A and B are shown apart, each in its own frame.
Chain A
Amino acid sequence: MTEPTIYEMSVAGRVGMKYPQPDVPLSPLPDDMLRRDLPLPELSELEVVRHFTNLSSKNYSIDGGFYPLGSCTMKYNPKVNEETARIPGFTGTHPLQPIETVQGNLILMYELQNWLAEISGFSAVTLQPAAGAHGEYVGVMIIRAYHRDRGDLKRTKILIPDSAHGTNPATSAMSGYNVVPVPSDARGNVDLEALRTLCTDEIAGLMLTNPNTVGLFDENVLEVINIVHQAGGLVYGDGANFNAVLGIVRPGDLGFDVMHFNLHKTFSTPHGGGGPGSGPVGVVEHLVEFLPGPLVDVIKEGDADDYPLFGFVEPPKSIGRVKSFYGQFGMHVRAYTYISMHGAAGLRAVSEHAVLNANYLLSRVRGKYKLPYDRICMHEFVVEGSWDDAPDIRALDVSKRLMDYNFHPPTNYFPLIVHEALMIEPTETESKQTLDQFADALLKIAEEAHTQPDLLKSAPHNTPIGRLDEVKAAKELVLCCWIPEDIE
């Protein structure tokens, strides 16, 4: 059933709150400052509570069901993270307090910096960036600062494999670089021949997503990094797919120079509405001096009587501050909690199970869905949502039909190098039973695509609202549910 908008529920004169008569003289607002063109809906408190409760129950969330949105790592966010983030000692602090009074916060940030560095094999980490794409931007600014510091101003290009995340070319373009795409080879790796041709002394670096967006670990990653380094470029690692390799391989050891982390993917802090993102950035030794400041460090060593004093330090050639205060501290607490709860062996198990779950799902749908690259996958995989013998069906129809089976659809139409792509990432937090239910739905839909294609074309059927007109939505944006008549 469709929930009416709050304006449609409004009844003139109904009030949710009665105020007592004022016991001080009234002081009316100046008439010319009163706005009369914004009528607010008039409802009782109960109606408001029901309205928003009903709306919230229509949300799809990881707490309500399986959410295999490829590339997004929609893993379960343990509730203990919320407990720790709400410890009054954290929530009651202010970023402008004297450092002596917030030593607990600083120690947490210091240890998180060090843990992320250890997990990734980098020398130092900044926690400032506010989200993954912001982390990428910071990483590319560090690459630029490095070349400029050496007086090397001819490097105007950044190479981006066509299997990279879409934010990578956007980041490079925003940083003022020219984006040069690098094709993939038939196995889904970076095409080494093409890479060699493109690697000149005009490249500032390469942004590599590994595992890439088709869920494959680049088999030639060492050679790719070597080719770029030989040309004097740096290699940026997109850490969005870090959930596949925790405790198994460290990007810093592979030769990556800089990488961002998505705390809201790998380290179980909430995505989107649940809280802001957080995109720390790690760098190798020769880039540490360019990190955004301030970083948390020990500013006075401890001794037998005193604890060490933690405070802020500024890297000598810092690209500057990239965020007010110190980043999304609440997310730091959640990620810190997650890492503490798992420990080193636990983090490795996270990735092993993420990869195992993806391969299990893949093995269940193999043969019924076309695989653009049929290899052992990492934490996610891509299938084609179309069949030669079901010519009317597209990936979007498969996704819409999945909603009828009460699953969140996978990522659609990305990566672009795969025809009618459906990108599926189950994460490690799902049970075999859930994976089987999802695989059963996918297999049923593959069958329906051939026997009852109309069922897919007109899906979803079991949702409050059916198939939306995406063309109309894109072309005729109406962002107000109601437009006052007297507004010009």
Chain B
Amino acid sequence: MNIPQNLKYEKTDEWAAVDAGKVTIGITDYAQSQLSDIVFLEYLVATGDDIKKGDVIATIESVKAAAEVSSPVSGKVTAVNDDLIQTPEKINTDPYGEAWLVKVEDVDVGDLSSLMDAASYENYCQERGH
């Protein structure tokens, strides 16, 4: 399982890439492998929205299940990855790269400290058995 060292992780299997007060959000390799083949993505936020940590930002459907993606941080949405709506399967193939979901700025730094680092997230995935 791919768990990049430079990212922060939420218990609900989202990742956050932090870069000078701006945060990019997506779902983890673990999450995509649990969902299996992803066939549908719908955004519940748009550029310019203020969101809170825990707000549902998108719904993802696979052949197996539907899942909500919640934001690991509070802040203002500066971009959503619209291309993914046509090609949600990219979440399966490149969850940390091309398949980022939203970008957020004006982030509450307190939220970041509550997220897991790569080592803790790896343990957390193993605790869940798979």
Interface residues of A (CB under 8 A from B): 394, 396, 412-413, 416, 419, 470-471, 474-475
Chain A residue numbers with a CB within 8 Å of B61 are: 474
Q: Pick the contact of A474 from B63, B65, B128, B129 — CB < 8 Å?
A: B63
Are B63's CB and A471's CB within 8 A? Answer: yes
Q: Nearest Cβ in chain A — how far from B90, in angstroms? A: 13
Residue of B nearest to A370 (CB): B129
Does B43 have its Cβ within 8 Å of any Cβ on chain A?
Answer: no
Hey, which chain B residues are within 8 Å of A416, CB to CB? Answer: 65
Which residues of the other chain, B, contact A413 by a CB distance below 8 angstroms? 64-65
How large, as a class, is the contact surface on chain B? 10 to 19
Question: Contacts of B36 on A, CB cut-off 8 Å?
Answer: 394
Instruction: Work out how many contacts link A and B, with CB atoms closer than 8 A.
Output: 22
- Residues of B contacting A475 in the complex (Cβ-Cβ under 8 angstroms): 39-40
In the bound complex, CA of A418 to CA of B37 (Å):
18
Assuming the contacts A470-B37, A474-B39, asked whether A419 and B129 have C-beta atoms less than 8 A apart, the reply is yes
Q: Which residues of B contact A394 (CB under 8 A)?
A: 36
User: Sorted from nearest, which 5 A-B pairs have the closest CB atoms?
Assistant: A474-B39, A470-B63, A413-B64, A471-B37, A475-B39
CB distance from B55 to the nearest CB of A (A): 12
Task: Compute how far the CA of A474 lies from the CA of B130 in the bound complex, rounded to whole angstroms.
Answer: 27
CB distance from A70 to the nearest CB of B (A): 15
User: Could you tell me the distance between the alpha carbons of A412 and B36 in the complex, rounded to whole angstroms?
Assistant: 13
User: B23-37 toward A: CB 8 Å interface, digit per residue (1/0)?
Assistant: 000000000001011
> With contacts A413-B65, A416-B65, A474-B63 known, what are 18 further pairs, Cβ within 8 A?
A394-B36, A396-B64, A412-B64, A413-B64, A419-B34, A419-B128, A419-B129, A419-B130, A470-B37, A470-B63, A471-B37, A471-B63, A471-B89, A474-B39, A474-B40, A474-B61, A475-B39, A475-B40
* Complex: A470 Cα to B65 Cα, angstroms: 13
Q: Which residues of A contact B130 (CB under 8 A)?
A: 419
Contact, CB under 8 Å: A471 / B64: no
In whole Å, how far is A168's beta carbon from the nearest beta carbon of chain B? 15
Name 19 interchain pairs, CB-CB below 8 A, sorted by A.
A394-B36, A396-B64, A412-B64, A413-B65, A419-B34, A419-B128, A419-B129, A419-B130, A470-B37, A470-B63, A471-B37, A471-B39, A471-B63, A471-B89, A474-B39, A474-B40, A474-B61, A475-B39, A475-B40
A99 → chain B closest CB, angstroms: 46
How far apart are the CA atoms of A471 and B62 in the complex, in Å?
8
Q: How far is the CB of B44 from chain A (nearest CB, A)?
A: 13
Give bound CA distance, A471 to B36, whole Å. 10
Bound complex: CA A396 to CA B36 (Å): 11
Give, as a whole number of angstroms, the nearest-CB distance from B59 to chain A. 12
- Cα distance, A430 to B129, chains bound together (Å): 34
A465–B57 Cα gap in the complex (Å)? 39
Bound CA span A457–B37, Å:
15
Q: How far is the CA of A419 from the CA of B34 in the complex (A)?
A: 8
Q: How far is the CA of A412 from the CA of B64 in the complex (A)?
A: 8
Chain B: minimal CB distance from A425 (Å): 20
Segment 82-102 of B: residues with Cβ below 8 Å from A: 89
CB-nearest residue of chain A to B128: A419
Query: 8 Å CB contacts to A: which residues of B31-73?
Result: 34, 36-37, 39-40, 61, 63-65
- A412 / chain B contacts, CB cutoff of 8 Å: 64
A8 to chain B, nearest CB (A): 28
Cα-based distance from A396 to B35 in the complex (angstroms): 13
Looking at B34, B63, B65, B89, the one whose CB has the most chain A CB atoms below 10 A away is B63
- Nearest chain B CB to A465 CB, angstrom units: 17
Interfacial chain B residues near A470, Cβ < 8 Å: 37, 63
Taking CB atoms, residues of chain A closer than 8 Å to B40 are: 474-475
Most buried by A among B34, B37, B89, B128: B37
* B window 112-130: CB within 8 A of A: 128-130
> CB-CB < 8 A to A471: which residues of B?
37, 39, 63, 89
Complex formed: what's the CA distance from A312 to B79 in Å?
59
In the bound complex, CA of A475 to CA of B88 (Å):
10
Which residues of B lie under 8 Å from residue A474 when comparing CB positions?
A: 39-40, 61, 63
**Roughly how many angstroms separate A372 CA and B5 CA in the complex, as a whole number?**
31
Task: Kindly provide the distance from the CB of A295 to the nearest chain B CB, expressed in whole angstroms.
Answer: 37
